[in-house]
Amino acid sequence: MTTSRRPAPAASPVPAFAADPHHVTDHLLVGGVRKSFGGTEVLKGVDLTVAQGRTTAIVGASGSGKTTLLRVIAGFEAPDAGSVCLGGVQVAGPSGWLPAHRRSVGYVAQDGALFPHLTVGQNIEFGLPVRGRTAAPRVAELLEMVSMDPAYARRKPSQLSGGQQQRVALARALARQPQLMLLDEPFSALDAGLRVATRRAVSKTLSDAGVTTILVTHDQAEALSFADQVAVMRDGRLAQIGSPFVVYTRPTDRATAEFLGDAVILEAWMEGSLALCSLGGIPVRRPPVQGRVHLMLRPEQIRITEGGNIRGRVVDTDYFGPETTVRIQLAPIVVDPAGPVDPHQPVGGEVISIRHWNAMLARPGTELSLKVVGEGVVFPWDG
């Protein structure tokens, strides 16, 4: 069994092998991790690589296993199979298992998990080898790092707001200069306005400190905005891993597409790199299949335009202030009886929802012309 290196508190958090800043190292390697609880397999073989200093969001519905994965990485749970390597050292796997306190991992729980019997300062110095007056400068430094006044050190956690508690929890986790920071839905307990502000503050602090970070969340928008890399977790597996832009615009399956945002799904016929559907011919990059498919477009790709041959009638609208969701029934496509019969010709008539900024334009019954911007994504036809 190997032991993890515990960097001295004042030492640089960057391990020696990453001395070259341009060389991106795989800092965390999760390979084939499985975990069952009472006969239920929660993790069914998870592989994940996180580069040094980068931010990864693991996003998934509740019960998908994302929190368990985080707990395996943290060392609160031992995997049944597979391995976890941290900074080149195997912390879980065939050669043994290191418990949480011997890994150099920071952890921020959903509600911060500040010790209620200790002051903010005592919480922050909890993991430090020094305490009291000796630790005070470091505590002040850490509080400033999370944009809090050092005077807060004397307060009790109960005197802080939710966002402040989370920032103190982050400062506490940063105190030991961990190699890896794990955030378990740290923003979900905060209300909407505070959530965005705290997320930004935490994100900035972590990237300034250059700490490799994993965020677990069920909030797709949070995952897409926070991370360099998004891993979509579903049913104990990582369904897709990629940059936020790629997983949002080119999801690999329909469930991922629908989980990450609103999606317009239409029946289509794939020929070459063009999908023929009620919205016309939509270009698709590297389609996995040909023939009958589901075509996925994001609602913001469908625009209202002046003129054009794709037409639809407004069914109803939902007004949200800055934008309006407009439900549109596409016009049935009239087939020229004299022309050649194409069995793959779309018939039209589907109802789609798009978003538009101008509520006045979209009164129910209005006839609109539509156009599609960008590429679509197709998934195999599943009946």
Partner 1 sequence: MAFRDSTTTARAPRVDNLGNAAGGRGTRSGPWPVVVLSILIAAFSLLPLGYVAFMTGNAGWDTIQKLVFRPRVGDLLLNTLGLVVVTVPLCVVIGVAGAWLVERTRLRGHKIWSVLLAAPLAIPAFVNSYAWVSAVPSLGGLFGGVLIATLSYFPLVYIPVAAVLSRMDPALEQSGSSLGLGPWKVFFRVVLPQLRLAAAGGALLVSLHLLAEYGAFAMIQFDTFTTAIYDQFRSTFDGAAANMLASVLVLFCLLLLLGESKTRGNARYARVGSGVQANPPRLAMGWLEIPGQLGLAALTALALGVPLFHVARWLILGGPGIWTGGALAGALLQTLGYGLVGALVTTVVAFPLAFLVIRHPGPVTKLLEGANYISSSMPGIVVALALVTITIHNVPAVYQTAVVLVAAYALLFMPRALVNLRAGLAQAPKELDEAAQALGKPPLVAFLRVTLRLTAPAAAGGAALVFLGIVNELTATLLLAPNGTNTLATEFWSLSSEIDYTGAAPYALLMILLSAPMTYLLFAQSKKAAGQ
For partner 1, give the closer residue by CB, 155 or 254: 254
Q: What DSSP designation does 356 have?
A: E
Q: Does 351 bind partner 1 (CB under 8 A)?
A: yes
Which residue number, 22 or 298, has a Cβ lying nearer to partner 1? 298
Residue 246 contacts partner 1 per CB under 8 A: no
Listed ranges 82-90, 170-178, 204-212, 359-367: which one lies at the site for partner 1 (CB under 8 A):
170-178
Taking CB under 8 A as the rule, does residue 158 contact partner 1? no
- The span from the CA of 226 to the CA of 210, in Å, is 15
Q: Which is nearer to partner 1, 6 or 155 (CB)?
A: 6
Closer residue to partner 1 (CB): 242 or 261: 261
Q: Which stretch binds partner 1 (CB under 8 A): 62-70, 143-151, 195-203, 239-247?
A: 62-70
User: Should residue 368 be labelled a site residue for partner 1 when binding is judged by CB under 8 A?
Assistant: no
Q: Does 299 bind partner 1 (CB under 8 A)?
A: yes
Q: Which is nearer to partner 1, 22 or 101 (CB)?
A: 101
Residue 378 interacts with partner 1 (CB under 8 A): yes or no: no
Contacts of 76 (CB under 8 A, 6+ apart): 100
Site stretch for partner 1 (CB under 8 A), options 140-148, 193-201, 335-343, 344-352 = 344-352
The DSSP secondary-structure symbol of 114 reads: -
- Rounded Cα–Cα distance for residues 101 and 76 (Å): 9
Residue with tokens 């949002």: 248
The one among 262, 271, 342, 367 contacting partner 1 by CB under 8 A: 262
d(CA 60, CA 258): 12
Q: Which is nearer to partner 1, 68 or 212 (CB)?
A: 68
Stretch that binds partner 1, among 13-21, 56-64, 190-198, 357-365 (CB under 8 A): 56-64
Among the listed residues 104, 233, 234, 245, the one whose alpha carbon sits nearest the alpha carbon of residue 176: 104
Q: Verify binding: residue 350, partner 1, rule CB under 8 A.
A: yes
What b/e string do you get for 149-175 counting C-beta neighbours within 10 Å, with b at 16 or more? ebebbeeebeebebbbbbbbbbbbbbb
Regarding 252 and contact with partner 1 (CB under 8 A), the answer is no
Instruction: Report DSSP letters for 287-347, one per residue.
Output: -S--EEEEEEE-GGGEEEESS-S-EEEEEEEEE-SS-EEEEEEEPPPPP-TTSPP-TT---
Among positions 7, 63, 210, 281, the unique one binding partner 1 when judged by CB under 8 A: 63
Spell out the residues 6+ positions from residue 350 whose beta carbon is closer than 8 angstroms to its own: 266, 267, 278, 329, 330
Whole-Å CA distances, 344 to 30, 138, 341, 347: 45, 69, 9, 9
Residues of the shown chain interacting with partner 1 in the complex, contacts defined by CB under 8 A: 6, 37-38, 61-63, 67-68, 74-76, 99-102, 105-107, 109-111, 113-117, 126-127, 169, 172-173, 175-176, 182, 185, 188, 218-220, 258-266, 299, 315, 327, 329, 349-354
